[in-house]
Chains A and B, each alone.
Chain A
Amino acid sequence: MLIALFTILLLGGGGGSGILDFIADTQDTVKVVVEKDDRRKEMLGTLKAMKKRANAHGKVLRRSSRDLNRVLADDEVTEAAIDTIWYRYFAQREVYNREMLDLRFQLRDQMTREEWEQVFGEDS
């Protein structure tokens, strides 16, 4: 239990989901809000790319969790060994944030303000 909980703390959460993943889960809402045309096809393409990116990040997080669990279970564990895994994970996390933001703004440019508010607004 201790090792699993320390791993969650070190990675800042244990979930398999990145902070921007929720945007990718709106394909069904977009299909309801936007008429079936080329624009909608483009939006769904962007959301599909986001989903793919989110899944790849989930794999990175699970692999980092496994690596940390293994290192923390070692009686000879050093802070350097923990840092190596942590910095590798966080470098990948920065790339995830940047690429997901690129896709988020691509999606925003594909949608009108009204469509955006219907998909992501408080009432959505």
Chain B
Amino acid sequence: MRPSSRFRQCVLFLAIILSVTIGCAGKDDIAPIDVEKQAFADLREDIREVIEDPARADEAIKLVGVLQEDLAALRRSVAERRSRIAELNADYDTSRADFEAFLQRIEAEVGANRRRASESHLALLATVTAEERSALAKTRTRAMKATIRTMQAI
């Protein structure tokens, strides 16, 4: 192999490594919260496109806003629960009663959230027709997919 050819190959290899590194860094730079904001912005845009009646579109967007707030609250709650349960576990002297009281509090919170989520879902069903729901279900942007993945991991 001629030296110039080997040099070109080395430069090409380094360029590939550099571009992959920059590409990965760029991906990591987008915070999940920003991806989530984008996903909901995409969803609102889809709602405006799919629901022609402005009053119903406004109502659907309002309900999506409630869903977004509830998901943000859930994310915070789950982080707090995990931190607290790790604290309880770390203490050798924590009683079973203390654990049970904490777990019961979590179940009560989840139960309250369930009622709220169920009501929001039924309200959305009452606002959006079956055809519109079907159209909305078909569009999934990259941000939406990423948001579902991150929310599924909490």
Interface residues of A (CB under 8 A from B): 1-6, 8-15, 19-20, 22-23, 65, 72-73, 75, 77, 79, 82-83, 86, 90, 93-94, 97, 101, 104-105, 108, 113, 116-117, 120-122
**CB <8 Å contact, A19 and B81:** yes
A90 and B111 alpha carbons, distance in the complex (Å): 9
Residues of A within 8 A of B53 (CB): none
Residues in A with CB closer than 8 Å to B107 are 90, 93-94
Interface of B (DSSP majority class)? helix
Q: Compute how far the CA of A12 lies from the CA of B148 in the bound complex, rounded to whole angstroms.
A: 14
Query: How many residues on the B side are at the interface (Cβ–Cβ under 8 A)?
Result: 46
Sampled A-B contacts (18; CB under 8 Å): A1-B140, A5-B67, A8-B151, A9-B74, A9-B116, A10-B118, A12-B109, A12-B110, A15-B153, A19-B81, A19-B85, A22-B86, A73-B137, A75-B125, A75-B130, A90-B107, A117-B92, A122-B90
What are the residues of chain A within 8 A of B147 when measuring CB–CB? 1, 5
Output the nearest chain B residue to A9 by Cβ-Cβ distance: B117
A8 to B152, CA, bound (A): 7
Q: How far is the CB of A44 from chain B (nearest CB, A)?
A: 18
Contacts of B96 in A (CB 8 A): 101, 105
